[in-house]
Structure 1
């Protein structure tokens, strides 16, 4: 009944539904049950993404003035730590008109500025709040009691433990998971979800007053900045493969300076103008390094390393080969400058960018001219 699919890389993948959709469906069911006195075991809502969600209602429990129930989160074929979790609601009618929404056990609280909700609020984002509010208001109108209000508390059993596997601790959301979703649906292996996370983290850094946005592709870059330069990991935005998107988000959120740090295996692709460093968009690492070497080495030296360089599988071996020419510093300086130039160009020259590239295990290979100065500003 809820099976909707998307074709990706030749595979048929099933959509899921967000925690926000689960909360809205459970809230709708609870209100109907409270008004009618009869149990219902399914509730259908329309998602902002245009797909109906037919939710199974479980764990129905009644008290004198409350009804509580739950919906199990199904993320479809998207890997999601909240899949299988219960999104529970406890709902009652009030004499004060309006919809009051708050979080209970397992739903996080906002402690830092720059997020969707203000400090102190439950981490129930604006679209889920709107979905819940609209569904409940429609039910009140349907049953002719629109002069009443509704109080609904959302909880997620084990949510505090689940949150440790999410970005919430880094974002300053404590005590549980967030109730999320902009479309109400979960697209399998969604690029959009990653980009949205980059934007949220960037907003938080800006709201905290940061002048320099520090960005790393992944955990290797994060560890490098933490272990070598003692940068707090919470101060670094992870952009995964989405370098171009991270640059544009930085501009959108008002940053004028960006420090980009990562392993040569990822960053060398950016030197070649590659905007997304995922292997599905091509590798080209050795071709890019070879082109730089050809430009900066004399013909004889270049020819002496060309074949070995192009046969390399790992960039660590490529670094070793390039360094045998005695011109490694010049070549890697040029590579870092190319990374910087491309990122500044992608920003429409509204960002100043500095770059640090490492190889091996936390072995700094090259840094652009002001990178170390910026690091000092941030420590």
Structure 2
């Protein structure tokens, strides 16, 4: 799996499969418009910065184009590093519509709990949005008379898929097109640890003793909307929660808000100190036990035990209105992190749903 939630060290960043697909799609549309090969393409990332990407191959006619980009993971080469991400772009009669689908080597979703429709291609919402926005930027006139279809394929996707979490998650037949910020920041434990220590040092140097620890960019954005503190108090701890609270204890922090989504918080509640996806997975028995404590029915408990992902559990629980369930997950996180921090400072745990609403807290 790719990750783009870790603060930048001194290693070389790369870009996600989503950014690679966006580059191919935009280059394809530009090739149709200008009737010329595109060798380099500028892409606008979700946070509006730009990145230039090399297009390895570009073929086109008046109605369609085929481009591919080689995915570059920077200094955090995951299994998709070096993979060819192909895009076929074609004009359709669906005026004004941009359709995005997956072809060979892009997985199909067969289980719920991923925030994607069962049966659809495993292309996450952020890459879809990136592709749509980057195409719209250059093709407004074209879209007044035509629709545009983008088909993403990965020739080696079927071979790469077993090396990812996809089979376990019920994504079959290929890899996923992923990314939340568009770039991949290296997972070097040393540079990451240095970045956390530095962030806490800056907070203290600025005269603050309160931090907001988040698992990534999105949880930080949501935390900022409910916690009013200066920028320097927000620390992205990524997957290294145990290390981060130990550093907070050591450096004299007095209070930490810990904010995230159900997946990472569940792992923390289980006592996993390093929650990177390769190193741990969510234990459904653990989540089912918590449901039992909330007086869930036997059917609901069984449903949770068979759930595909923590997000799937979130969907099940939200549908059953199990009062206090998410607070209970937060309480488990609180207990674990208080242990790691030797109970040297106060901790508030906050869980967000995927739209940024607060659904769980401990203490209340």
CA distance in 2, matches of 1:220, 1:95: 47
Aligned length, in residue pairs: 254
User: What is the CA-CA distance between 1:79 and the residue it aligns to?
Assistant: 4.2
TM-score by length of 2: 0.55
1:183 lines up with 2:160 in the alignment: no
Q: Sort the Cα spacing of 1:117 and 1:202 in 2 relative to 1 into closer, same or farther, 3 A.
A: farther
User: What is the CA-CA distance between 1:199 and the residue it aligns to?
Assistant: 4.6
Name 1:115's counterpart in structure 2: 114
Contiguous gaps of at least 5 residues in structure 1: 1-5, 206-213, 239-247, 261-266, 289-341, 351-379
SS at match of 2:168: helix
Q: Sort the Cα spacing of 1:121 and 1:236 in 2 relative to 1 into closer, same or farther, 3 A.
A: closer
1:266-293 alpha-carbon deviations (Å, 9 max, x no partner): x9x955714xx6xxxx7x7xxx9xxxxx
Equivalent pair of 2:104/2:155 in contact (CA under 8 Å): yes
Paired residue for 1:19, among 8, 17, 20? 17
Name 2:100's counterpart in structure 1: 101
Q: Sort the Cα spacing of 1:104 and 1:348 in 2 relative to 1 into closer, same or farther, 3 A.
A: same
SS at match of 1:90: strand
Residues 232-311 of structure 1 aligned to structure 2 (within 5 Å): 235=307, 256-257=324-325, 273-274=338-339
CA distance in 2, matches of 1:96, 1:39: 25
Name 1:170's counterpart in structure 2: 168
Q: Sort the Cα spacing of 1:257 and 1:116 in 2 relative to 1 into closer, same or farther, 3 A.
A: closer
The two structures, once aligned, show a CA RMSD in angstroms of 4.7
Name 1:40's counterpart in structure 2: 38
CA distance in 2, matches of 1:249, 1:42: 42
Equivalent pair of 2:66/2:87 in contact (CA under 8 Å): yes
Name 2:362's counterpart in structure 1: 348
Equivalent pair of 1:137/1:146 in contact (CA under 8 Å): no
Name 1:69's counterpart in structure 2: 67
More RCO (CA 8 Å, sep 6+): 2
SS at match of 2:26: helix
Equivalent pair of 1:215/1:237 in contact (CA under 8 Å): no
Q: Sort the Cα spacing of 1:202 and 1:95 in 2 relative to 1 into closer, same or farther, 3 A.
A: same
Q: Sort the Cα spacing of 1:236 and 1:106 in 2 relative to 1 into closer, same or farther, 3 A.
A: closer
Residues 120-131 of structure 1 aligned to structure 2 (within 5 Å): 120-131=119-130
TM-score by length of 1: 0.53
CA distance in 2, matches of 1:126, 1:348: 30
Q: Sort the Cα spacing of 1:200 and 1:51 in 2 relative to 1 into closer, same or farther, 3 A.
A: farther
User: What is the CA-CA distance between 1:66 and the residue it aligns to?
Assistant: 2.8
CA distance in 1, matches of 2:129, 2:280: 39
Indicate the larger mover: 179-188 or 25-34.
179-188
Equivalent pair of 1:171/1:201 in contact (CA under 8 Å): no
User: What is the CA-CA distance between 1:138 and the residue it aligns to?
Assistant: 2.4
User: What is the CA-CA distance between 1:17 and the residue it aligns to?
Assistant: 1.4
Contiguous gaps of at least 5 residues in structure 2: 1-5, 193-214, 218-237, 240-259, 287-301, 351-359
SS at match of 1:29: helix
User: What is the CA-CA distance between 1:62 and the residue it aligns to?
Assistant: 4.0
1:84-139 alpha-carbon deviations (Å, 9 max, x no partner): 11111011111221111100011111112232221111111111111111222222
Q: Sort the Cα spacing of 1:180 and 1:252 in 2 relative to 1 into closer, same or farther, 3 A.
A: farther
CA distance in 1, matches of 2:307, 2:86: 33
Name 1:244's counterpart in structure 2: none
CA distance in 1, matches of 2:83, 2:315: 32
